[in-house]
């Protein structure tokens, strides 16, 4: 079996980033991947502005506390005061974000003056530059805004909008074909025949893929028929960039997916020292990358997070990055046997100044009940045996799209899941 690190490295080396691009408006740019470096078309702010509500004055005219200035006008955000100061010790009432008159070099806070009619009296001596935002304080014109390969989040899109960018060049969406296999599967809402279960894996994958810049071609659930499965893979391999399947990659008599990939293309590797998710198959058929995920629900989710998500990022030209983990103290013993790296479902919480985590009960790979209450995965190294209460472990936070609102007391949910 390949170690997870070796499997990730081999997967990465087999992927060539897509080069096709398209131009989209920033209203459609969320979670798309930048095709080119973006540079600021303007300085931000484009004029010297006030950071606070107050009075714009020339600091050199102040004699300190008790100095008086005559108010000659107001400068509002979007409506600047554009008359010159025609005498000494003049002030302009100014508001946050408004343009500072060219002759002024400081803004005195409104609470630091006493005003009587059109005269203000300083309570303290101001310094040049106080409460001033100079041109380019946020970003200078032609400075790098965002690098090629950046996946545009809400803050990135807002940043582009602030700089006046109306459209961006992005990598086209990754085309993904998706299907699950198994005679035992039935669609939710339909009557179960003897021996059947509902297909949850395809639903989980489609929901997780929502956060990715993809076009999903849902091929549905396929019966355990090698002709049907081969036809689906062969057809998809010529029109998509990535084929993701659930089930049929182990060694059972009805596990046809892996040998079909080996027949139609090439199998890069199979079987990873991972729990849950050992029977993972990675290969290539025609132009399409292939990832065959295990059929147990939790195995499907974990292998998506560790492999499919990374593959999509790499296809989109994003730089590889290891998932962020945080240390937390284990509040219950954790059972484990050396040999495979394990990702146990857990609940991360705060207890005073420390982060604590506890497993969510039975860790069998079929148990979505313990996944439904989890907000993290506890990383157990392949070199470790069981871990005792009180030891510190690394915790992998589940992505935002997998989070859920927990309204019930967490102890109740954990008891129900155990």
User: CA separation (Å) from 56 to 92, 124, 386?
Assistant: 5, 15, 67
The pTM of the full predicted model, rounded to 2 decimals, is 0.87
Each residue of 18-74: pLDDT tens digit? 999 999 999 999 999 999 999 999 999 999 999 999 999 999 999 899 999 999 999
As given in the structure block, the two tokens for residue 94 are: 């100014």
Give the integer Cα–Cα distance in Å for 336 and 124. Answer: 67
Burial class of residue 84 (count of CB atoms within 10 Å of its CB; 0-12, 13-18, 19+) = exposed
Q: What is the sign, positive or negative, of the torsion defined by CA atoms of 292, 298, 301, 306?
A: negative
Tokens of 368: 């979505």
CB atoms within 10 A of CB 376: 23
Residue 400: the pLDDT is: 59
**pLDDT of the residue at 404:** 42
Distance, CA of 92 to CA of 101 (rounded, Å)? 8
pLDDT tens track for 321-365: 888 899 999 999 999 999 999 999 999 999 999 999 999 988 989
pLDDT band for 370, please (50, 70, 90 cuts).
confident
Check whether 10 has a pLDDT greater than 80: yes
Q: 226-236 and 257-264 are packed helices; what angle lies between their axes, rounded to 10 degrees?
A: 50
Alpha-carbon dihedral sign for residues 231, 237, 238, 241:
positive
What mean pLDDT do residues 362-371 have? Answer: 88
165-199: buried (b, 16+ CB within 10 Å) or exposed (e) per residue?
beebebbbbbbbbbbbbbebbbeeeeeeeeeeeeb
Beta strands in 228-307 (DSSP E): 242-246, 266-270, 274-275, 281-285, 288-293
The residues near 138 (Cβ < 8 Å, ≥ 6 apart) are 44, 45, 162
- Token output for 49: 């502005």
Q: Residue 90 and residue 263: Cα distance in Å, rounded? A: 85
- pLDDT category of residue 401 using cuts at 50, 70 and 90: very low
Per DSSP, 255 falls in state: -
């Amino acid at each position: 079996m390949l170690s997870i690190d070796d499997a990730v490295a081999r997967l990465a080396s087999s992927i060539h980033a897509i080069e096709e691009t398209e131009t989209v408006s920033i209203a459609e740019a969320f979670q798309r991947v930048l095709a080119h470096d973006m540079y600021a078309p303007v300085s931000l702010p484009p004029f010297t502005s006030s950071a606070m509500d107050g009075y714009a004055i020339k600091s050199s005219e102040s004699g300190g506390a008790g100095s008086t200035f005559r108010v000659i006008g107001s400068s509002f955000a979007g409506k600047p005061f554009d008359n010159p100061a025609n005498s000494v010790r003049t002030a302009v009432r100014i508001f946050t974000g408004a343009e500072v008159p060219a002759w002024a070099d400081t803004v005195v806070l409104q609470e630091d003056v006493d005003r009587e009619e059109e005269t203000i009296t300083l309570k303290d001596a101001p310094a040049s530059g106080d409460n001033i935002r100079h041109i380019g304080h946020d970003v200078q014109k032609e400075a790098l805004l965002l690098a090629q390969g950046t996946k545009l989040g809400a803050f990135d899109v807002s940043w582009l909008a602030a700089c006046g960018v109306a459209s961006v060049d992005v990598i086209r969406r990754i085309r993904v074909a998706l299907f699950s296999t198994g005679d035992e599967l039935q669609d939710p809402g339909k009557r179960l025949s003897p021996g059947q279960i509902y297909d949850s894996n395809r639903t989980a994958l489609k929901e997780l893929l929502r956060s990715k810049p993809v076009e999903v071609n849902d091929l549905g659930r396929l019966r355990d028929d090698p002709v049907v499965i081969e036809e689906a893979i062969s057809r998809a391999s010529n029109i998509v960039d990535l084929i993701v399947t659930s089930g049929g990659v182990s060694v059972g008599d009805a596990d046809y997916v892996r040998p079909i990939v080996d027949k139609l293309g090439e199998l890069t590797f199979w079987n990873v020292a991972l729990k849950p998710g050992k029977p993972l198959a990675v290969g290539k058929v025609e132009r399409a990358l292939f990832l065959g995920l295990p059929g147990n629900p939790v195995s499907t989710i974990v292998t998506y997070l560790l492999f499919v998500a990374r593959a999509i990022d790499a296809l989109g030209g994003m730089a590889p990055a290891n998932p962020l983990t945080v240390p937390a103290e284990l509040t219950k013993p954790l059972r484990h046997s050396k040999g495979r790296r394990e990702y146990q479902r857990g609940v991360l919480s705060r207890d005073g100044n420390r982060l604590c985590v506890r497993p969510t009960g039975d860790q069998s790979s079929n148990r979505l009940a313990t996944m439904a209450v989890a907000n993290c995965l506890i990383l157990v190294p392949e070199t470790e045996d069981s871990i005792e209460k009180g030891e510190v472990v690394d915790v992998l936070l589940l992505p935002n799209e997998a989070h859920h609102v927990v309204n019930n007391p967490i102890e109740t949910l954990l008891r129900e899941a155990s």
